Structure 1
Amino acid sequence: MATKALSFTLSLNDLFSSKPPHTASNLSVFSVRCSAGNGERPWKNSDARLVLEDGSIWKAKSFGASGTQVGEVVFNTSLTGYQEILTDPSYAGQFVLMTNPQIGNTGVNFDDEESAQCFLSGLVIRSLSISTSNWRCVKDLGDYLTERNVMGIYDVDTRAITRRLREDGSLIGVLSTDNSKTDEELIHMSKSWDIVGVDLISGVSCKSPYEWIDRTKEGWEFSTGEGPRDTFHVVAYDFGIKHNILRRLASYGCKITVVPSTWPASETLKLNPDGVLFSNGPGDPSAVPYAVETVKSIIGKVPVFGICMGHQLLGQALGGTTYKMKFGHHGGNHPVRNLRTGRVEISSQNHNYAVDPATLPEGVEVTHINLNDSSCAGLAFPAQKLVSLQYHPEASPGPHDSDNAFGEFIELIKHGKNKTPSKSVHELQSV
């Protein structure tokens, strides 16, 4: 755009003297040039919309990738750890709204990633930090999202949206920077898409088995124990597993083989593992019946530990049912009571589904409950050498209160190593 300018000439006497003008030889003359610039404001204008299936339209400013994306909107109450949240595969198919108002002030670094990429559909925040101030920072959040083709919006009323989600439940939304699409088109798109019944696990799982050996780095180790003395072989099913779950298992003395979500149970048992981990992952557990069948075939033959999605799959494999929660649990500050000890843990959680304890068979014990809504947060079935948690004991992000769950799994392995294998779930159901 051409620059517009205005020029005029003044004398100092014209400005500061009330006397008649002097002769030309006594005048000091200068020129003033005013530029209108390129006509743009020095701040970013709203260039994005978040449209919800209830018809509400929220104007915002974009950062990261551009385009149009659809997903389920959930809110996360964590105060820190946005990079771990961005790289948690359990957020596949979702827009994550952070209730903490300022995001981006610590930038990003490659040590805090929980997987090799970002699986969430978009990030919604109130205020995008204009600077980063952390010694580990290697780039800012906006550049990071752009490189990973993830959409983000800011300058939107996250408090109002959170209140709406708490009252109405999780809503499908559309993020768009495309001005050619009308509000009505975006609303129709949000109403035409559903996350229930969709297999999201297959899109986040590894494609072939691999060995994991990395432990928690010494500088970040928070366990007060003496460290591992024995080495146990654990097969970990990757339903969307986080790196720090693997690091914590390795720190407790485990040699880990990670296998895809579709890995046959028969192949797992051929490896003769000391234990099996069913990991966290995204979406509806009822949408992955193949995973439930795998879990059924392994229960009772080796000690098992289920985390989040793994916990829900164990519940279904035991004959129980799961249900979709109103707005789920997402955050690093959820209180959970251990019913065996009475101890309260502050936990890191990320799930939209829960196990209905009333549908579980006799012998299955509810070991933990969420103190916000009394939902089932942990199970144990001693006869089947089984334990599970609905939340993330590795605490990424979040407090370390639940780290002892990995130690309990190791004790279960030790206790079951020399015992005769129990009947499988299939065998029990056929009796």
Structure 2
Amino acid sequence: MFDFDMLGLAPTLNTALQKAGFNEPTPIQNEAIPLALDGHDILGLAQTGTGKTLAFGLPLIDHLLSRQGKPAPKSVKALVLAPTRELVNQIAESLRGLMGDTHLRIGTVVGGQSINRQINFLSRGTDILVATPGRLMDLMDRGAVDLSTVQHLVLDEADQMLDLGFIHALRKIAPALGTPRQTMLFSATMPKQMEELSRAYLNNPKRVQVSPPGKAADKITQSVHFLDRNRKGDKLREILSADRDALTLVFGRTKHGCEKLMKSLVADGYNAASIHGNKSQGQRDRAIKAFRDGTTTILVATDVAARGIDIPGVAYVINHDLPETPDNYVHRIGRTARAGREGEAISLCSPEEVGLLGQIEKLMKIDIPVASGSRPAASEAEKPGRRGGGGGGRGRGRGQGQGKPQSAGKPGGQARRRRSRRAA
């Protein structure tokens, strides 16, 4: 059964969707695509892994297919901005697969790659440009790109694009764009202040929300282990050893901590790699490819990967360190249970991080089930946000706390399953 043809897309796109195995639109696609095809500005909110890229990409391509003529030199017809290199590449890859043999051109500009090569590509003009804000501004400063012809603007992971790390870049880029234009903002989370800020870029937008902001996908099984910080290394290895062949994404808080953790896992015989801001783009691309192919089964990452990896086979997300921003927890665990699959999100929480856990549970309006240990009393927990550990050194003890766990289950459970713009 093929249901995309009910949305009013061009026949070329319906054919491409069928070849790619997409038969039925997801809720966010079903609601957003007809509105976007009608030219409305869109504020779209949906869980990670629910098809937001196609929700904006399909109407974007449809609009461009209806217009004849090649783009003028240095010009851009549609601009997609995303916060990380990985997400830019992922978006471009998804859209390129739908464009097939059409006349449309798509390109990417990100930091960490040859700017001269990007200048050469842009000199011929492009229909769709997917970019990180920092590198795009570099190209604007060099006069390498003309954004006055942009008729469509998309902000993916809009909450982060409107945050302090990128808002200054956005305020410089937006006035250079063509008007009138269609603007679409998509994200899994949207704090109130960010939504208010978004109004400056939207014109009478249609709000499309298919799940409450901050809600994780239904097929993600969540749990938390309470333990001392110096015991995290042992607990992590216990979980990893329970299912060594599963694709597992491990999140740390700092670049140095992630690298140290990865090296300690490799030294202990685990098949691990890492990605973070200190890695070159080539190193990051190779690590993700190896993880996607299953050559590497464990990927240790900072939040650079929280929004930039779409690998359906990821069975586990393990928070070795809880994120300091609760929204990032939602994005992190959204790397599993993608495309209708099941997955498991496991958090290791030290006393110093109990406050961070509370913020996450408040955002998600849930109590995350306890797999082992017991939640420290308020007097035991230090002030939230204290930076700790990240190295994953192996503690001598293997105790998991005293107290009866609130929910039982062996490791792995039933699934078997700074944001500086220049850093992008």
Q: TM-score, normalised by structure 1?
A: 0.27
Higher relative contact order (CA 8 A, sep 6+): 2
| Greater Cα radius of gyration, structure 1 or 2 | 1
Q: TM-score, normalised by structure 2?
A: 0.27
